[in-house]
Structure 1
């Protein structure tokens, strides 16, 4: 199974981050999120149930907010009849 990675790291103001989060929300509504920078692109198709984790941390003057959203593509899931248990 091949792995695709996309990383973007920068210093941004709150308005720019707010705009990014609005675009991300729109992508969840469309079930299609495309991220690109410097010729590097990844397309994700979130749908169904998603795992959602929020973490916040403050240590002195340093603050951190992490949001993690993950899911499995439907193509990778087995149909219910294949995953069921049969006893004979």
Structure 2
């Protein structure tokens, strides 16, 4: 099983993050999200049911908001479920 990984870590103002989240929303609507920076890129195709997790934490002056979306590629899922059970 091959793995593609994309990581982007930087300080941004809230307006820039808002624009990024709007682009993500458009990607979900189109069914295709492409992330790229400095020659690295990954294309994701969200489809079907997606696992959606939101976590928030406040500890003193530190705040954290995590949003995680996971899914399996529909084509690979179909391939895995194409096998038929035989009972004899």
TM-score by length of 1: 0.90
The SS at the match of 1:35 is: strand
Matched, 1:44 2:49: no
Offset of 1:40 from its aligned partner? 0.2
The root-mean-square deviation of aligned C-alpha atoms, in Å, is 1.5
- Superposed CA deviations along residues 19-77 of structure 1, whole A, max 9, x for unmatched, are 00000000000000000000000000001000000000000000000000000001211
The SS at the match of 2:66 is: strand
Offset of 1:78 from its aligned partner? 3.7
User: In the alignment, what sits opposite 2:83?
Assistant: 82
TM-score by length of 2: 0.90
Offset of 1:82 from its aligned partner? 3.1
Q: How does 1:56-75 map to 2 (within 5 A)?
A: 56-75=56-75
Aligned equivalents of 2:76 and 2:37: distance in 1? 28
User: In the alignment, what sits opposite 1:55?
Assistant: 55
Could you list the runs of 5+ residues in structure 2 that have no partner in the other structure?
none
